[in-house]
Structure 1
Amino acid sequence: MAISKSYKQISITRLILNPENDRFEPVENEKLALEMMLQKMGSKIYFLAADIVNRGLSPKPFYVIPHYNKYVVKDGNRRTTAIKFLSRPKLIDEKKYPTLRLKFEKLHNRYIQSPIKSILCYVYPDALSADNWVELEHTGEQKGVGTVEWESEEIHRFNKKHGKNPPIQIQAMDFIRNSVFISDEIKEMSEQIKLTNFERFINDTNIRKLLGISWINSQLISGVEESEIAKGFSRIVYEMNKPNFTVKSIYTAKDRADFIKKFSDGLPDLSKTTTPWSLNNWSIENDDDIDIEKLSNETEGGQKSPPIHPINKPSNSSQENKSTKSTIPVTRKSVIPSNLAIRIANPKANKIHNELKKIDVKTFVNCAAVTLRVFLELSVDSFLEAKGLLKEGEISASLAPRSLYQKVNDVSQYLHKNKLADESITMAVKLLTKEKNSVWGVDTMHAYVHSNKLSPIPGDIQTTWDNIQDFMLTLWAQIEAE
């Protein structure tokens, strides 16, 4: 089918921000419209602009109508505003919005490397025709005709498909709806309970202990038999479906403890232990350096909690081979543990991160070494740009004359100054930068790429990651916070 002739690539200079934008009262011209957008949206416009620079412009066409030799934007005004400020930060009043102006000036330096010169638009003949469709975009579901916004559960499931572990309450709900040990009746009941109420249970450390579950590296796991875990969840769903159930009955930690005491007979038998398993079928049996000690003494908020269940220990060697293993093998094939979840907004860095969780370091040792070095520099560059740590004259971190060694040092100083790094992270950075001859240092990683003499050793590559893992987690957590 031919593409409608109403679609046009239009220069950004020919697009006019709508002075009659429904986000605010009508104004006289585009200059005042830009001012109103700043008043109404503030930093949201900056975050949108940063996303456009990092990820590119949304492929959704702008809706426009002709206005002499230009076009008034009917839908796409936020994006238009962001692009105009990216192109000309001076449009932002420096006296009214000094911080925002400075942020856009820094973004401008990156934006001009690949500026947006034209935008795909759908041209409507008049305002009435355009408003007919704008209404569907912005006035709710309208019985399914308009845009149907995702609920939090749908958002989390989308993230899961893209390698981002959903919150533990979503993982628990997925388990309920998929376990063969949970009846269809209970599965149907789970559709009726409010996720926010269910979340109060799953996020309660004491309740998780009673249910025999724990979480580590963003995964909900257990060392208790699945049938027992299913029994506990089934009873909670059943009780939450009773007519007299209200959020007040589980509002505080004491309320939840009292609530669950009423059906203690329906809780899991924690003595029925098994090899640790993930409630969402992510295999952890062969997945890298998780042991029962760490599992049963999980760290939450920096505090060690008591074991969530006892671990069977064989009394003699003849039983040892038949019993449940007390640890999961520490040997792994990949550079990054495959069960480690890092939220990475940068698409390229995220892909490299995922590849490092799959590359067999023994088979592809040079590939692993070079890729790890690239991932480290991408992470450091992303941090420098996110925190506005580019120096005068630097267009981007990747094009900066600073070496990786210098950039890592700059990041380290920032983390230390702002009290964002603990002792373990400080030590990791020292290994990267201070020990020049270390097999785990930046210079050695650099040599893996450029030297035709030095060959990496698989164990050294994995140890390098182990040493810098907390450092990398901190970098991306701080980038995400921006």
Structure 2
Amino acid sequence: MEQRDFSVTDLSLDYQNPRHDMPTPTTREAIAALLQKDPEKLARLAQDIAEQGLNPTELPIVVHEEGKIVVIEGNRRLATLKALADPSLVDDPRIRQQMGIIARRHSIPRAMRCVVAESREKANHWITLRHTGEAEGVGVVPWTSEQKIRFAQKENPTARALRFIEQVSEWYSTDNDLLQDIATVRTTRLTTLARLLSDPKVRNSLGFDFRNSGILADYDPEIMHSSVRKLFSDLATHLSVTHVKSKEQRTDYIGAIKDHLPQPSERLPQPRHTSPKNQNSNRGDVQDQKEAAPRPSTSPASTPQKDKRVFQNVILRNVSPRTAKVLNEAKKIVIEDSPNVAAIMIRAVIDITVTEAAERQGWRRRQDKLRERIGVALRHIDPADADKQLDEARRMSQNDGALSVKNLHSFIHQWDVQPMILDITTLSAVYTPMLMKLDQYLGENPK
């Protein structure tokens, strides 16, 4: 069977698709049938295709029938691409909105590479192997749990860096200065942190390693506190990727911070395995929970919900008590539990903070719209537009993209808008540096 590239518009969905109970002779009906079974799966597939592209290891299969090019294997992918190209094909208003947002934010594939079969009968063997399991070794043999874990340990460096961020945020949840540095690193220096932590010598010097879904710590967290604080402070200020590109540079950096590193004499007898979502720690990788060395208990109320709450790491010290209280109340909202309230509070916190700053500083001109108030605030805290941490806030607030100020307004004023959790967390991360730097500006320029 040959491979060819086809335009998405030239491809037809299979009205005989075995996924459907009844024939689906139109594109709209086929999409509706797929959505009826699990709409969230199709939305997640759309997001993955938008971010990663089409899976090159599994090509759709097409046949020529009645003057059409019919996809007989790969209908979910084709339906997703058609919905992204024309969201009006989706009847479900919530999924239609998600498709529209994804399409505006990404460059969507307009063509698919397909395998061309002579007939359905010729393709049946391969489709059967794809969908009916191992077939005594002829089909796809799934991984065991151990094999899945082994593969998961090969996750990309950025994912590992995020896991490290999650863990240290829990360990040092009362260190507000460190949490602010962590927020800065997450939005502006994540790749630099990932490059550092990809070096085993760096991990060994800091006293930890990655295991399964958690962290294997060689020291108690309090012993590692100084090195972690130094690492994130440097990353949040001057340490960029150009300083840690080579192994020699990373070795030099570890030497420069040696006074902050844990001492070998304080190393635990056995490493302790911890997970960002589990406060219990096991000694070693394989010992039972009951043999674990005890750790201080942490109540749910005191455990931070990093990246699950609005502006989690923002602290405003130089605003009015009321503005600070609005922020603190917003930070109590778990985004996943209350996405509508969280979305509204993002807009409220930004609006009330920049409005107070404008009134206190006497920035009287062009203050009628929120976009203008944000723009004026950004120009005062970064007149030369040189601060890279503010680039995304400048872009989103002053343009008309999918996450513009217009989108913030829609969270309040449009009854049919369903805020996406991804958009809420993105907006929170983008405007975090602006709020912190604006607060710093107010402290340095009292009126």
* TM-score, with length taken from structure 1: 0.42
**Structure with greater proportional helix content:** 2
Higher RCO (C-alpha under 8 Å, 6+ residues apart): 2
So what's the TM-score if we normalise by structure 2?
Answer: 0.45
